[in-house]
Structure formats: C-alpha cells, structure tokens
C-alpha cells in the first residue's frame, strides 16, 4: 500500500517552516495547513512582509541593532547617554531592556556568544566592532565611560561577559555586568521588565 503524502508544494512549505527556531515538523504542518486553507490575502500579506524584511531590514552600522536606515532609531536619538554602552547578545534583548525603562545609554548587539565548546570564537561576533567603537570614541570628544554587559546567565553568556570585561579593561573603560534578579541559566529576552530594571541598577564591576 502506497504511503499517502502531502502535495509537493505543501511538503516544501512544511520543510521551510521547520527551519524556524522552536518550530518542529508537527507545528510546521499545522502552520502550513492554516496558510493553505486560510484567507489567500492573509497568506499573500505574510509573503510580502517576509520579502520586505529581507529587502529593507539590515544591521545598524554603529550598534548592529535592526534598522531600515544606515543608523537605527536608537543611534539617531541624540538624548541617549553615549558614555554608556549596553552589550547584548541579540536584538530581542535590546527590546526587552528598552521595555524595562532602566537604561538610557546606547547599545551594541553581538549577534552571538563566545562558545569554546562549539568552536565559536569571540571574533565571530560583533565584539571586534565594539572594541573599535570604544577606541574611536576615546579619541573623540565623547569617550565611553562604562560598558554594561547584559548577556544571559548561561555558560556561554558568562564566558562572553568575562572575555568582554577583560578586553574592555585593557582600554581603560569600566566594565560592569547586570546581576541582581536574573536566574542562573536564564535568557535575557524572557525576563520581565521589573527584573531587568533591578538587574541593571544592581550591576557590578567585572
């Protein structure tokens, strides 16, 4: 007896959806079924939105947050405290901290963490760009006074924080790490606003 399969176009859609983070084959199948059997206009809008993001969204040339211009909205804001830079792993962490209202400085997004066990070197993140940014600021009229390291409390987050702290210290800039309120092994983007506010206020020197 032949095995009944979905049509090839739907199999391809399921395969592509399965590549998304946290989306397994069963979830991808449900999503594909919804798209195929739902309103065609909604499916087209989703397709257009994905296409627009691919074509119009890129990394800010300064902090590497997501932007639709050369500089992101945060880097264009002249009211931000340029003497303090908060270093995070991914763009979602910037959003989480901004929601907390506990930080008024600038950001730097690493887009990854140092992971020796997985063979990932610090230079594969945006760390070299951070050090160059600090160096340029020191040579100008608005030097960086503090780098607030806001990586998660995972093994990789701890290792990255220590590495950044040592690298920043060599440039004569104070390095601190958010601490209070974040559980060990926790991801920053899943912390609530109050917890993040306390963590930022309770940061400690590295």
pLDDT value at position 187? 65
Instruction: List, in sequence order, every beta strand (DSSP E) within the chain.
Output: 58-59, 66-67, 81-88, 105-109, 146-149, 174-177, 204-205
What is the DSSP secondary structure assignment for residue 142, as one 8-state letter? S
- Distance, in Å, from the CA atom of 89 to the CA atom of 164, rounded to the nearest integer, reads 12
Q: Where are the domains of the chain?
A: 8-56, 77-205
0.85 cut: is pTM over it?
A: no
- 165-187 pLDDT, tens digit per residue, is 999 988 889 999 886 555 555 66
- 48-103 pLDDT, tens digit per residue, is 999 999 999 999 999 999 999 999 999 999 999 999 999 999 999 999 999 988 89
Q: Which residue is associated with the tokens 């600021």?
A: 137
Question: Which of 117, 116, 121, 122 is closest to 149 using CA atoms?
Answer: 122
**CB-CB contact of 97 with 105 (8 Å):** no
**CB-CB contact of 153 with 185 (8 Å):** yes
Bridge partners of residue 107, in order along the sequence:
86
Bridge partners of residue 119, in order along the sequence:
none
Question: Which of 78, 64, 204 is closest to 133 using CA atoms?
Answer: 64
CATH architecture designation of domain 77-205 = 3-Layer(aba) Sandwich (3.40)
- 6-49 pLDDT, tens digit per residue, is 899 999 999 999 999 999 999 999 999 999 998 989 999 999 99
Q: How many CB atoms lie within 10 A of CB 67?
A: 21
- 68-79 pLDDT, tens digit per residue, is 999 999 999 999
The CA–CA distances, whole Å, from 23 to 54, 83, 189, 202 equal 20, 40, 18, 36
Mean pLDDT of the chain: 87
Question: Which of 203, 122, 187, 192 is closest to 154 using CA atoms?
Answer: 187
Answer CATH for 8-56 from 3.40.50.720, 3.90.550.10, 1.10.8.420, 3.30.70.980 = 1.10.8.420
């Amino acid at each position: 007896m032949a095995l009944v399969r979905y049509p090839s176009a739907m199999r391809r859609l399921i395969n592509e959806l399965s590549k998304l983070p946290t989306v397994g084959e069963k979830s991808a199948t449900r999503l594909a079924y919804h798209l195929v059997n739902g309103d065609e206009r909604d499916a087209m809008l989703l397709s257009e939105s994905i296409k627009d993001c691919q074509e119009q969204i890129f990394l800010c040339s300064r902090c590497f947050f997501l932007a639709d211009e050369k500089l992101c909205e945060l880097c264009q804001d002249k009211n931000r405290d340029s003497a303090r830079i908060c270093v995070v792993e991914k763009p979602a962490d910037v959003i989480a901290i901004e929601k907390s209202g506990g930080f008024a400085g600038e950001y730097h997004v690493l887009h990854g963490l140092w992971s020796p066990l997985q063979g990932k070197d610090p230079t594969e993140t945006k760390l070299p760009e951070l050090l160059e940014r600090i160096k340029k600021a020191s040579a100008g009229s608005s030097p960086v006074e503090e780098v607030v390291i806001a990586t998660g409390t995972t093994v990789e987050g701890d290792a990255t924080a220590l590495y950044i702290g040592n690298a920043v210290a060599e440039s004569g800039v104070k390095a601190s790490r958010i601490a209070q309120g974040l559980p060990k092994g926790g991801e920053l983007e899943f912390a609530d606003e109050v917890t993040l506010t306390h963590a930022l206020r309770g940061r400690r020197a590295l």
